[in-house]
Chain A
Amino acid sequence: MKLGLIVPSDDNPYASTLLAALLAAGDRPAGVLCSHRSALSRAIACARTQGIGAMLRRIRSRYDPTGTVKDEVRRCLARFASDQKLANWNRRISATCRQLGIPYLRAAGVNDPAAVAFAQGLDLDLLLSTAGDIYRAGMLAAPQIGILNAHMALLPEFRGMNVLEWSVFCGRPIGVTVHFVAPKIDAGDIVVARELLIKPGDTLATLRARSLTLNVTLMLEAVRLLRADATGCRRPGDGPGRQYFVMHHRLRAIVERRVQRLAGSYSAR
């Protein structure tokens, strides 16, 4: 099975860990597509469509002075990589590709004509997506079997954005689902899903980080299942459920308190 990988940036720790895990499992990707636009081009696009004020607000909102979430993600992935004995999990993806001779393309977006041509040229069976972009028909049709995405909630109940937080908010089980990307958001066939349990001491940041390691595990499992039986492991993903959107910070604060309360009650048991 010929695999390709789509990454959101060259130094994304989740994407580089997945690449390292694929290589460790003997699944060398036929190509890697980086859909990263430079900060300058994103800022210009934002200023053009929404004004200078919106651009300044966006830059400010992206800046994480404490680095809490990113640090937690790196810590968690480092532990995972150590347990799995993954080499170069924290290395720039382009450097790994260069070293191993894997074709690597940096494009302005996943639907950029150059990106679509790159994916088509590789004659792929399966694309693994670590970018949260919306895929259009051209890219969706590029791989033979389809594009796999790891979603941070149990589908089909929670589609869309910030679904880990929404699952906690609604008092539902949290978990990860690996599914095929379809024109309707998060409604493609489901390949594999697993619940994630809240542990003592968990916070929202640690849950998100642990969820990323589960993403990697389930992506590898999905590839294995599809290799064994490309159709038998699929079940419909377009069931009853709602599409959720970016959570407002006040609701997120409620979720944070709920996670800590749940984590506290588990540790008390």
Chain B
Amino acid sequence: MSSDHAEPRKDVRPAGGTRLRAIGRMAVRSSHQWVVLRDALGLRERKAADAEHLRAAMAWLCRAQDISGCGGVSAGYYLASGWLPPYPETTGYIIETFLRYGAGTAHDTRGLASPARDTPAATGGGRYIDRAVRMGDWECEIQLPDGGVRGQIGVNDYPIVFNTGQVMLGWLALHRHTGEQRYLDAAARAGDWLAKIQEPDGRWVRHSHNGIPHAYHARVAWPLLELAAVTHDARHADAGERFTAWVLRQVRSNGWIGHMGFVAEPWAYTHTIAYTMRGLLESSAFLEGDLQREARRVVTTMAEKLLMLFELAKDDPRGRPRDLPGAFDEDWRPVGTKATCCCSSDTSGHAHQQVDSVRHHGPRHHGPRYTCLTGDAQLAIVWLKLYRLTGDARLVNAALKLIDQVKSTQRLGSRHPGIRGAVAGSYPLWGGYERFGYPNWAAKFLADAIMLQEQVMGELEGFA
């Protein structure tokens, strides 16, 4: 598989053999047949209270951690291959979700963050914090000597830029929560490595997924800036600022940012679009002056664009919006997947050599419709956070609808532990993103989205 932990998987659809295995598994497992049939008929799940959806997602994440047996969280459950090995990158950013949920169970007044019922180990907020600590310790154990974080799923021997940034977020969250120096030290070593391999113009190319620069490395600049705010190390602040300045130079007049996708082609999943937006938005909190203003202006423009694309796509003006397309091209047109192989466009280099067995595929504009559920949840988070900055209530409104749509695909009643509470990569399951799979980051971002939604709604309802 490719060099980047979450990334390589995320833009790969199962090869022929994998698809056959998936079909084979579906034929023998009734739980698999049922989820595929429901998606085929366009049937959504019965929506439950937000607390139920959140509990189910957290319980699934707990199972994904328990199944790995090492503290890391399994990359996900896939119909073809079952539970995958732990994923360093996403385990890193799941840490914060557990800390927030754990803290919520300790101070919960809305009944939102009560422990997952079907998790034997869950007896209160402390359990979730213990789990987060185990994740952080595992990340420390497997951190490479040079400070980088291992790429891809499992424990591999090469570092990847993006993964390093995501695990830094987890370590920084643990340091904030526990005050333990070792997490800050691990984050600082990772930050040193990132600053060392950064190009003079601010982007990261070496040890980058597919050996190309990515705008979504804004989620790497964010932990660097956050780290600098704690350590006051100018190298980290400078690296974060230089990358932010580079991303802002990629902004087009229509709001699109170049290099937002996994591949060199000018299209991106909503997953990486939202990564880019979130990275810029969070980075802006640590920036000042023109850089801060410009970062926020760019995110606001993109958020407004996506709001319109979401809200205006409906058959009846009074009806609900359709699912947000899973990917867009540089003209903000919805994109299907898999028309031409794009491996030839990859730049050669260390990362590319590791992904040469992976088939990447360019976009086509009239492919089957699907939505990228993790991208939806991530976008809802960006809208909710942006609402707090701008006060534009339409963003909360759209976020509520988008979260509802993701919740309506989450199976709460399945007897299968890999499916119950999980969130699929795509809806329908055979959509272009993480086909027939339930990646851990989809459950993580839904849990984050629900927790943030309840915070924002609590403020609004209190004000009402």
Interface residues of A (CB under 8 A from B): 42, 45-46, 49-54, 57-58, 61, 132-134, 161, 166, 169-170, 242-248, 250-251, 254-255, 257-258, 261
Contact = CB atoms under 8 A, between A and B. Distances in A.
A50 B322 contact: yes
A132 B394 contact: no
B42 A52 contact: yes
B452 to A, nearest CB: 14
B28 interface: no
B315 interface: yes
Given A58-B319, A132-B318, A257-B464, A53 B398 contact: no
B234 interface: no
B15 interface: no
B315 A51 contact: no
Interface in B285-329: 308, 311, 315-322
A166 B308 CA distance: 17
B457 interface: yes
Contacts of B318: 132, 161, 246
Given A53-B43, A245-B311, A254-B461, A132 B317 contact: yes
Interface string B56-77: 0000000000000000000000
Contacts, number: 66
B396 interface: yes
Given A170-B393, A251-B396, A133 B461 contact: no
Contacts of B315: 45-46, 49-50
Contacts of B44: 53, 57
Contact of A245 (B42, B394, B404): B394
Contacts of B311: 245
A50 B42 contact: yes
A51 B42 contact: yes
Interface in B1-59: 41-44
Contacts of A45: 315
B41 A251 contact: no
Nearest to A254: B464
B459 to A, nearest CB: 11
Contact of B320 (A133, A242, A246): A246
A247 B317 contact: no
A160 to B, nearest CB: 9
Nearest to B315: A49
A61 B400 CA distance: 17
Contact of A246 (B319, B393, B457): B319
B198 interface: no
Nearest to A57: B44
Contacts of B398: 245
Contact of A258 (B308, B396, B457, B464): B464
A75 to B, nearest CB: 22
13 contacts: A50-B42, A52-B42, A53-B42, A53-B43, A54-B42, A132-B318, A170-B393, A242-B394, A245-B311, A245-B398, A251-B393, A251-B396, A261-B464
B410 to A, nearest CB: 15
Contacts of A254: 460-461, 464
A250 B457 contact: yes
B322 A248 contact: no
B43 A52 contact: yes
A161 B398 CA distance: 13
Contacts of A54: 42
A161 to B, nearest CB: 6
Nearest to B428: A51
- The 6 nearest A-B residue pairs measured at CB: A51-B42, A53-B42, A53-B43, A248-B400, A254-B464, A245-B311
Specify which of A169, A247, A248 lies most central, judged by the most chain B CB atoms within 10 Å of its CB.
Answer: A248
A169 B393 contact: yes
Contacts of B316: 42, 46, 58
A134 B394 CA distance: 21
A23 to B, nearest CB: 29
A244 B394 contact: yes
B317 A250 contact: no
Contacts of B189: none
Nearest to B50: A250
B43 A247 contact: no
Interface string B447-459: 0000000000100
Contacts of B460: 251, 254
A51 B41 CA distance: 6
Contacts of B392: 242
B185 to A, nearest CB: 44
A59 B76 CA distance: 36
B304 to A, nearest CB: 10
B262 to A, nearest CB: 29
Given A254-B460, A257-B464, A258-B464, A248 B42 contact: no
B347 interface: no
Contacts of B464: 254-255, 257-258, 261
Nearest to A45: B315
